């Protein structure tokens, strides 16, 4: 999910949904809901009026689960927007104990704005090799509000640029669920243009963005712990990612600067006998040394899956250091698993210097979940989020937010 489609969406029309399974070897242990055996259906079953019992379904003989959703949305900044959102979950080992995922999405707006994203989370060699990727291309005008937390919505400055991100990280398992490895990371912006309206946002932009392009390139060191069985919709388990990224002029980076990313997630069945889940997320992005280009400075809504800061326009808060916390309670509404709900709350802090006053910025909201594929447990999420200063909007994902 890109941050751009999430900007104050006021209407979403789901045109249709297709869930496809490709036949291969039989699943020895089909995906089951937690707790007592319940009838489980997804959107395809609903329209076919086929309600089948998990563990007795004809799809037991398949291992590739594919969902595609064309959607139409509207936002004040992109106008009428069409999108194709796809999610593919599959097994890469005969034991079928952990899903791999591939997300490929494309968007186009009535203002001739377009952007494409591809995220991969793949396991190989009996889950000993882990490949994580985040690739994006954008051509999309957006807004920036300057650095720090003391800006208002009226401080918005229009900015336009093209953007290419390439990030591929390969890790090797040293212990069960524990991986370590290296990655290549590129963030390249060009054709950067902004309004010339004087104000805080323009001052901050011109201070850290001297030309109409920027390049941050580095080789990262990554340490990952992942005990989730299904990263797309974890029912239990934990995830941790520690990434140190030195951007080096030797590799083409405009300047030498370093960042530290810490991503921690924990999932607790609650109550233990139910399918309900309490999900907890801590996300930190620190600039350790040097000066990052303005558009590479940590910002709400610009994490790998563009999901931080529900309740705010992506880019609403930007600064040298970002600290973020979110908790979400996911619960079943229908006994057949087709419909669920969430309530969530988040807290973020953006600051330039460690000595700065750490103002906390809250957000929160509610949402519904519609089961798109019961075998990969993939949901369509539609959330209404709100924040301070009148910030609010609708947000959607194919898959859980974290």
What is the pLDDT averaged over residues 188-203?
Answer: 90
Q: In sequence order, what are the residues at sequence separation of 6 or more whose Cβ sits closer than 8 angstroms to the Cβ of residue 250?
A: none
Summarised one tens digit per residue, pLDDT across range 308-367 is: 998 887 788 999 999 999 999 999 999 888 999 999 999 999 987 766 666 899 999 999
Percent of the chain with pLDDT over 70: 84
Q: What is the pLDDT of residue 253?
A: 96
The larger pLDDT score, comparing residue 282 to residue 391, is at: 282
Task: Between 340 and 156, name the one with better pLDDT.
Answer: 340
| Contacts of range 393-396, beta carbons closer than 8 Å, 24 or more positions apart | 393/6, 393/7, 393/8, 393/9, 393/10, 393/75, 393/311, 393/313, 394/8, 394/9, 394/10, 394/11, 394/12, 395/6, 395/9, 395/310, 395/367, 396/1, 396/5, 396/6, 396/9, 396/12, 396/71, 396/73
In the chain, domain spans: 4-398
153 or 36, which is more confident?
A: 153
* pLDDT bucket at 5, cuts 50 / 70 / 90: very low
Q: What is the CA radius of gyration of the chain?
A: 21
Place of tokens 């563990």: 55
Rounded average pLDDT over 188-208 = 90
205 near 239, Cβ under 8 Å? Answer: no
Residue range 4-398, CATH number: 2.40.160.50
- Tell whether the model's pLDDT for residue 189 goes beyond 80: yes
- The residue among 23 and 225 whose pLDDT is bigger is 225
Give the span between the Cα atoms of 123 and 102, in whole angstroms.
Answer: 11
The predicted structure's pLDDT at residue 4: 42
Which segment of 104-108, 217-221, 326-330, 393-397 scores lowest on mean pLDDT? 393-397
Mean predicted confidence (pLDDT) in 149-164: 88
Is 53 a residue whose pLDDT tops 90? Answer: no
What's the chain look like in SS3? Answer: CCCHHHCCECEEEECCCEEEEEECCCCCCCCCCCCCCCECCCHHHHHHCCCCECCCCHHHHEEEEEEEEEEEEEECCCEEEEEEEEEEEECCCCCCCCCEEEEEEEEEECCCCEEEEEEEEEEECCCCEEEEEEEEEEECCEEECCEECCCCHHHCEEEEEEEEEEEEEEEEEEECCEEEEEEEEEEEEEEEEECCCCCHHHHHHHHHCCCCCEEEEEEEEEEEEECCCCCCCCCCEEEEEEEEEEECHHHCCCCCEEEEEEEEEEEEECCCCCCCEEEEEEEEEEEEECCCCHHHCCECCCCCCCCCCCCCCCCCCECCEEEEEEEEEEEECCCCCCEEEEEEEEEEEEECCCCCCCCCEEEEEEEEEEEEECCCCEEEEEEEEEEHHHCEEEEEEECCCC
What's residue 74's pLDDT? 54
Select the more confidently predicted residue: 58 or 303. Answer: 303
pLDDT tens, residue by residue, 103-134: 898 988 887 788 899 999 898 887 788 899 99
Residue 34 has pLDDT above 90, yes or no: no
């Amino acid at each position: 999910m890109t941050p751009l489609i999430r900007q104050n969406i006021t209407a979403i029309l789901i045109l249709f949904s297709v869930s496809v399974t490709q036949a291969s070897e039989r699943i020895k242990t089909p995906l089951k809901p937690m707790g007592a055996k319940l009838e489980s259906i997804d959107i395809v079953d609903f329209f076919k009026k086929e309600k089948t019992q998990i563990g007795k379904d004809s799809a037991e003989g398949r291992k590739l689960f594919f969902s595609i959703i064309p959607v139409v949305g509207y936002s004040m900044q992109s106008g009428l927007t069409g999108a194709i959102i796809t999610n593919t979950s599959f097994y890469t080992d005969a034991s079928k104990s952990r899903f791999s995922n591939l997300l490929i999405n494309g968007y186009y707006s009535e203002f001739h704005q377009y952007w494409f994203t591809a995220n991969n989370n793949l396991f190989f060699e009996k889950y000993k090799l882990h490949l994580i990727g985040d690739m994006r291309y954008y051509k999309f005008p957006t807004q920036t509000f300057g650095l720090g937390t003391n800006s208002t919505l009226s401080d918005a400055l229009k900015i336009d640029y093209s953007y290419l991100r390439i990030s591929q990280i390969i890790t090797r398992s040293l212990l069960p669920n524990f991986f370590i490895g290296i990655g290549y990371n590129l963030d390249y912006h060009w054709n950067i243009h902004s309004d010339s309206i004087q104000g805080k946002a323009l001052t901050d932009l011109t201070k850290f963005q001297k030309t109409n392009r920027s390049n941050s390139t580095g080789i990262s060191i990554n340490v990952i712990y992942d005990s989730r069985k299904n990263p797309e919709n974890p029912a239990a388990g934990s995830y941790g990612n520690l990434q140190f990224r030195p951007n080096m002029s030797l590799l083409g980076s405009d300047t030498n600067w370093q960042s530290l990313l810490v991503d921690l997630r924990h999932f607790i069945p609650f109550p233990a006998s139910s399918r309900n889940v309490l999900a907890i997320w801590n996300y930190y992005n620190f600039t350790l040394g040097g000066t990052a280009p303005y558009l590479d400075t940590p910002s709400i809504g610009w994490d790998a899956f563009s999901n931080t800061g529900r309740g705010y326009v992506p880019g609403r808060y930007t600064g040298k250091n970002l600290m973020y916390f979110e908790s979400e309670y996911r619960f079943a509404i229908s006994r057949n698993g087709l419909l669920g709900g969430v309530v969530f709350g988040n807290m973020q802090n953006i600051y330039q210097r460690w000595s700065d006053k750490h103002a906390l910025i809250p957000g929160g909201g509610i949402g519904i979940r519609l089961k798109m594929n019961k075998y990969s447990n993939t949901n369509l999420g539609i959330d209404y989020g709100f924040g301070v200063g009148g910030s609010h909007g609708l947000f959607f994902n194919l898959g859980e937010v974290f």
